[in-house]
Chain A
């Protein structure tokens, strides 16, 4: 069951991620990204991260990506033009990507040979546990985040306020 679940959603995630990269229209990329996030949320559930799965959908898919879609629609962004180039990317891009993926995959296989995941194998990711941790030992970072968000709001308002001239 778990393996099937993993494969289904891993494949959806990868296909959607590829779609994010290859689609030429931003809105297609955005919707594909929502797909990635949704399938990741399911994988989080598999890993026992209930709260994160919900937060993933609410925050990422429900808010951040809506914002993206909103901006794409607002700017009426069209298909991207193939102009401008970077020699560095053309020369090094693909080899480096392959190298990165290869190295990381190799070491991952080497470093984590035995542990396996099954649904219900981790029960510490509920709302209660996260809440106790956030308002216990991690209170300061949590509060600092609130300030960060406040700054972000003010920054966004200031930036977006500037009139076109």
Chain B
């Protein structure tokens, strides 16, 4: 590979990155659904998907096959161009933001430095804000073009909700940006280098706990998740804006929702939780955390294998136990540690936030609509403003 020019290398590595990210993202999207069903099932003390594959692990695959092969029904009386355009817009804008999110530090491939990121933008934060603000069109158009009053109401609610929650969201983002003094997502992470005490969420003397919580709440609303899933409140609006959609178009909205969840989780991680930075420095042993975790997981799997009652489990548990142990071993290899460790921490943080999303969905009831709007305008917005003001003052006083 040594004979490639810089431009050829750039093209090649970009293609590789796009392929990898796309494949991983799609898998994650599919399996996030499985995780959600499983977690909620366990919160509600039931097993969840169990039939397709071991512990329902192949359920997402089955879902995909089902959705793709279903008849793509276009109801009469819909506004056809917009009806088709809407899911396309939704999924496009949802996936677009992933392109600027960095997953890890710069790594060296073949003697050349490259980023674990599809495109490095020095206004990355603004880009994500811009793209996410466009996401509302998909939902609004879907609601309107369906020519169905439930859909329309869902679309209207969604537009109003997303416009309203964008304000506290932006204000909450502004506070950590003030501290880090950059809009570049990589530099944002670099400014939080060190330990957990340097993450923006705990950054002394202005810990951004409030803006982190505000960001999470607003993100729930932006992604139309429980407890803010008014646009698709099934007991009021059938299925909200996507009532009339089926097959892949329906799947697009679904994927858009989960992609948005991943985006905001990544944003929260980058802005507040220090991105791929370990909670404490490597010299105090943070690099052994993944090894311990994966090894423990492997051992637990093996233990369960010895106790397994089902026939299938006797095969799968040992297999997974071994896989986990291998992963644990991989983390010990110094060659890959440099990029695998940051990736691990990043994924761990994103995963934790995604788990919070699911956890809250399993716990909280839905808001009433007027409460939803009152909450953002009368509480969230002023608090975010105040937080920004205080942070601004403290930053200005910073020597």
Contacts and interface: CB of A to CB of B under 8 A. Distances in A.
Interface of A: 27, 31, 34, 50-51, 54-55, 57-58, 61-63, 66-67, 69-70, 73-74, 126-127
Interchain residue pairs A-B with the least CB separation, the first 4:
A62-B133, A54-B126, A57-B130, A70-B159
28 contacts: A27-B79, A27-B82, A31-B137, A50-B122, A50-B123, A51-B126, A54-B126, A54-B130, A57-B130, A57-B133, A58-B130, A58-B133, A61-B130, A62-B133, A62-B136, A62-B166, A66-B136, A66-B140, A66-B159, A66-B162, A69-B141, A70-B156, A70-B159, A73-B143, A73-B155, A73-B159, A74-B156, A126-B122
Contacts of B141: 27, 31, 69
A19 B260 CA distance: 31
B140 A69 contact: yes
A128 B245 CA distance: 45
B152 interface: yes
A69 B137 contact: yes
Interface string B158-169: 011011001000
B394 interface: no
B144 interface: yes
A58 B159 contact: no
Interface of B: 79, 82, 85, 122-123, 126-127, 129-131, 133-134, 136-137, 140-141, 143-144, 152, 155-156, 159-160, 162-163, 166, 183
A34 B141 CA distance: 13
Contacts of A74: 156
B123 A54 contact: yes
**In terms of DSSP, what is the predominant structure of the interface of chain A?**
helix
Contacts of B155: 73
A47 B159 CA distance: 32
B134 A57 contact: yes
Given A27-B144, A63-B163, A67-B163, A73 B152 contact: yes
B148 to A, nearest CB: 13
A14 B12 CA distance: 35
A68 B130 CA distance: 17
A127 B126 contact: yes
A9 to B, nearest CB: 16
A95 to B, nearest CB: 34
Nearest to A50: B123
Contact of B183 (A58, A70, A127): A127
Given A51-B126, A73-B140, 18 more contacts: A27-B79, A27-B82, A31-B137, A34-B137, A51-B123, A57-B133, A57-B134, A58-B129, A58-B130, A58-B133, A61-B133, A61-B134, A62-B130, A69-B137, A69-B159, A70-B163, A73-B152, A74-B156
A66 B136 CA distance: 8
Given A58-B130, A127-B183, A70 B160 contact: yes
Nearest to B159: A70
Contacts of A54: 123, 126-127, 129-130
A150 to B, nearest CB: 13
A69 B152 CA distance: 12
A50 B131 CA distance: 14
A89 B311 CA distance: 82
Nearest to A25: B79
A160 B152 CA distance: 21
A70 B162 CA distance: 11
A62 B165 CA distance: 13
A5 B152 CA distance: 37
A67 B156 CA distance: 10
Contacts of B152: 73
A73 B133 contact: no
A143 B393 CA distance: 17
A70 B140 contact: yes
Nearest to A62: B133
Contacts of A66: 133, 136-137, 140, 159, 162-163
Nearest to A69: B140
A40 to B, nearest CB: 13
A127 B123 contact: yes
B6 to A, nearest CB: 17
Nearest to B132: A62
A62 B144 contact: no
Contacts of B85: 31
Contacts of B122: 50, 126
Contacts of B160: 70
A48 B140 CA distance: 32
Contacts of B162: 66
Contacts of A69: 137, 140-141, 144, 159
A112 B357 CA distance: 56
- Which residue of A27, A70, A126 has the most chain B CB atoms within 10 A of its CB atom? A70
A31 B144 CA distance: 12
Given A57-B130, A73-B159, A31 B82 contact: yes
Contacts of A58: 126, 129-130, 133
Nearest to B181: A128
Contacts of A27: 79, 82, 141, 144
A162 B156 CA distance: 21
